[in-house]
Amino acid sequence: MYIRQIRAMNLRNVFGLNLQRLRRERRLSQEQLAHLAGCARAYLSGAEAGRRNATLDMVEALATVLEVKPADLLKDPAAGRETR
């Protein structure tokens, strides 16, 4: 059921989940990541929650700080998994 919920998500929600996961894996607070990427913490919070649209420039900045490819922020976490 969880995989079906992920597949139903829009790209903004997928981006937010990936952003939050990568930020936490690197043990960065929202405040720290926002500072390093040059945006406001509130903007980052909204992006992680799927309430804000990220510009391509911001996707690139966040990917650079998180040391991933921009595409990694947009990959569906359910891609490649089988549904039951």
What confidence score (pLDDT) does residue 41 get?
Answer: 97
Q: What is the model's pLDDT at position 28?
A: 98
Cut 0.95: pTM above it: no
Confidence class for position 1, pLDDT limits 50, 70, 90: very low
Distance CA 61, CA 34 (A): 10
Q: What is the pLDDT of residues 45-79, one digit of tens each?
A: 999 999 999 999 999 999 999 999 999 999 987 76
